[in-house]
Amino acid sequence: MTSYLCAIGTANPPHRIPQTDIANFMAGALQLNEAGTRKLRALYRVSGIAQRYTVLPDYGRENGAYEFFPNTPDLEPFPSVGHRMAQYRLHALPLSVQAVRECLRQQPEVKVGGITHLVTVSCTGMYAPGLDIELVAALGLNPNVQRTCVNFMGCYAAVNALKLADAFCRADASAQVLIVCTELCTLHFQKSQEDDHLVSNALFGDGAAAALVLGKPAVKGPSLALEAFHCGLEPDGQQDMAWHINNFGFEMTLSSYVPHLIQRGIRKLTDQLLENLPVQLSDIHAFAIHPGGRKILETIEQELGLSTHDNRFAYEVLRDYGNMSSATVLFVLQKLLHSLTPADAGAPVLSFAFGPGLTLEAMLLKVVLPEVRTADGHRTALLAEPTARLTAQPVS
């Protein structure tokens, strides 16, 4: 029995701020000297990010006009965890609802009241009764919907949510599973000049993604069959990628050694995923890789022999949104879904995501398209509307 990823909806907060403006905010907030400011701006220029979205307008403003941070030269008193969690609770629900509505709009035959399982994912905010219960009321879900929360697993958590959805659908072919990943990473800006914090401040943005997983392919538009999963660990990276709750927000450790760790483990992870499947890496031409950062994408390309074109969906998401933790790989998969044509039916798709541990998650998916009979009796794949092919030209 196979399960199918049938629709993905995404949403972002209203504040879209250019990377250059965020760099200016950070230089002022960290009270950097001229040399430090030049170094910081160089880091932002080479990040591969053009803009990011945030629930906090302050990142695009000058001191004196802040709404969340204190209007003092050193931002003191610096916002506490409690203050940040109040903002999470304020913004997480409406952003999640927006993503879910976009997701379900794509498959109108699936009714809200028919959703059997709800899986919520986040590592940037928690409270109870939580987002899962608020979504039941806001969306009009059946109060008996089975709820599961995946918390604090970081950027790879969407893969774990898909594993849960796959298990639910394999156990019951009538299951209709709604996954909601909501991350407000920008709430956790750390006022520190340590390299780890400078890098994380340069990468993360806010966003939500909702995914619908069913025990049968979508009636309308393409689906991705969930063919196989594999998880790997690089224990040497426990101190290189980590996520801790501290007095002034959640603190990300993200060292420059992470790309090396991923390089060391990515080929083994891929081989182990595919070793019992009738698919070789050379058969795969569609990829959905979590853009943890530009260097990570380049490292994977070098190790697996991929081109920038192969990785174009990841680069597009990194450029337009930054790293939104668990929601990010669903943004990448959404772009891939929107690119499909009938010629792509049956194509394998390889997806990766990474996070604390150092954890490396891999998925193999397969493109499935609805079929209709032509006038001469032949079957042909059908898409709801024309889109660009997987083999479209590289992004400039």
Whole-angstrom Cα distance, residue 23 to residue 178?
Answer: 36
What residues does 120 pair with on adjacent strands? 149, 180
Q: Please compute, for residue 365, the number of CA atoms within 13 A of its CA located in the half-sphere on the CB side.
A: 32
Decide the pairing of beta strands 117-122 and 176-184. Answer: parallel
Q: How far apart are the first and last CA of the chain?
A: 41
Tokens at residue 284, please? 């795969």
Angle at 216 between CA 213 and CA 222, to 5 degrees: 75
Nearest to 203 by CA among 189, 218, 219: 189
189 and 171 in contact (C-beta within 8 Å)? no
CA distance readout (Å), 228 to 4, 177, 360 = 12, 18, 14
Tokens at residue 72, please? 């003092």
Q: Length of the chain in residues, anyone?
A: 396
Can you say whether residue 5 is alpha, beta or left, with left for phi > 0 and alpha for psi between -120 and 50 degrees? beta
205 and 189 in contact (C-beta within 8 Å)? no
Q: Which H or E element spans position 206?
A: strand 206-214
What are residue 112's phi and psi, to 5 degrees?
Answer: -55, -40
Catalytic residue among 6, 123, 155, 181: 155
Q: Is there a catalytic annotation at residue 149?
A: no
Q: What residues act catalytically?
A: 155
